[in-house]
Amino acid sequence: MFEEIFSTNSFFFWIFLLIIISIIILFILRSFSTYFKFVYPNAKFEAIGNPFLEEKEINKIADSKDLTNFKESIKKSINYEIEGNSIAEIQRSLDKHFIQTIEMMRKDSSKKMGDFFDLYIEKLDIFLIKNIIKKTLNDEKIDQKIIDNVINQNTKKLLFRIIDSKKEEIPSILKNYGYKEDILNIISADKVDFLELDMIFDKNFIKKFKELKVPRKCEKAKQKFVGYLIDITNIKNILRAKQIGYNKEICNNLFLGEGQELAEWRFKQMCESNSVAEIVSVLGGTSYYNILKDFLDYYNKEKSVQILENALDIQFIKLVKELSVENYITIGPTFRFIVSKEFEVKNLKIIAKGLGEGLQSDLIKKFVIMES
**Band of the pLDDT at 68, cuts 50, 70, 90?**
very high
pLDDT tens sequence across 303-313: 889 999 999 99
Residue 221 reports pLDDT greater than 70? yes
Task: Output 152 or 249, whichever has higher pLDDT.
Answer: 249
Residue 170 has pLDDT above 60, yes or no: yes
Lowest-pLDDT choice from 243-247, 265-269, 313-317, 366-370? 243-247
Q: Is the pLDDT of residue 109 over 60?
A: yes
> Above pLDDT 90, what percent of the chain?
49
Contact 343, 315 (CB under 8 A): no
Q: What is the DSSP string of 254-318?
A: T-----SS--HHHHHHHHH-SSHHHHHHHTTTSTTHHHHHHHHHHHHHH--THHHHHHHHHHHHH
The residue ranges of every structural domain in the chain are: 111-214
Mean pLDDT across the chain, nearest whole number? 87
Q: In sequence order, what DSSP letters do the residues of 149-169 get, joined into one string? A: G---HHHHHHHHHHHTS-GGG
Yes or no: say if 60 and 66 are a contact pair by the CB < 8 Å rule.
no
Q: What is the pLDDT of residues 44-63, one digit of tens each?
A: 999 999 999 999 999 999 99
Q: Which pLDDT belongs to residue 29?
A: 47
CA-to-CA dists, residue 336 to 34, 100, 315, 328, 367, angstroms: 18, 17, 13, 10, 21
Dihedral Cα 12, 16, 18, 23, nearest 10 deg: 160
| Environment class of 166 (CB within 10 Å of its CB; exposed 0-12, middle 13-18, buried 19+) | exposed
pLDDT per position as a tens digit, 251-289: 998 899 999 999 999 999 999 998 899 999 999 999 999
Judged on CB neighbours under 10 Å (0-12, 13-18, 19+), 95 is: middle
DSSP 8-state code for residue 145: G
Least confident span in 20-24, 62-66, 92-96, 212-216: 20-24
